[in-house]
Amino acid sequence: MIKSELVSLVAARNAHLYHADAEKIVDAVLEEIAATLADGGRVELRGFGVFSVRNRPSRSARNPRTGGAVFVEEKWVPFFRTSRELNGRLNEAGEIDSRTAAANKAILRS
């Protein structure tokens, strides 16, 4: 699902909202999550999961093409941990459609 599909679903489930209003709501929620993470905070959505940031310390790495040593600076990265409820829901749903699983594997490889 992409953001425009999410906006359309929010608008469809809330008949009193115009599509533009649903888009503003989705944008506002995503912006607040991003702003909280940028400030080093965490966002907990009960029954869904927790968004947080984690520190990746500086380290030496290897350039896969040349094999030469490369210094990678410290950085902060977003992290998401699913809730027990979401994990249970995913696992009780049974097998995921093989096309979806194949698409997910292709995304992870790229």
Q: What are 54-89's pLDDT values in tens digits?
A: 999 999 999 999 999 999 999 999 999 999 999 998
- For residues 98-106, average pLDDT: 63
Helix (H, G, I), strand (E, B) or coil at 17: coil
What is the reported pLDDT for 91?
84
What is the reported pLDDT for 97?
64
Decide: 80 and 34 in contact? Cβ < 8 Å: no
So where are the chain's domains?
A: 1-39, 41-110
Show the tokens assigned to 67: 């094999």
Looking at the DSSP assignment, which residues form a beta bridge with residue 75?
Answer: 56
Helix (H, G, I), strand (E, B) or coil at 99: helix
Q: What are 25-48's pLDDT values in tens digits?
A: 999 999 999 999 999 999 999 999
In CATH, the number for domain 41-110 is 4.10.520.10
Report the chain's mean pLDDT, rounded to a whole number.
Answer: 90
How far apart CA 47 and CA 1 sit, in angstroms, is 19
The CA-based angle 76-25-41, given to 5 degrees, is 25
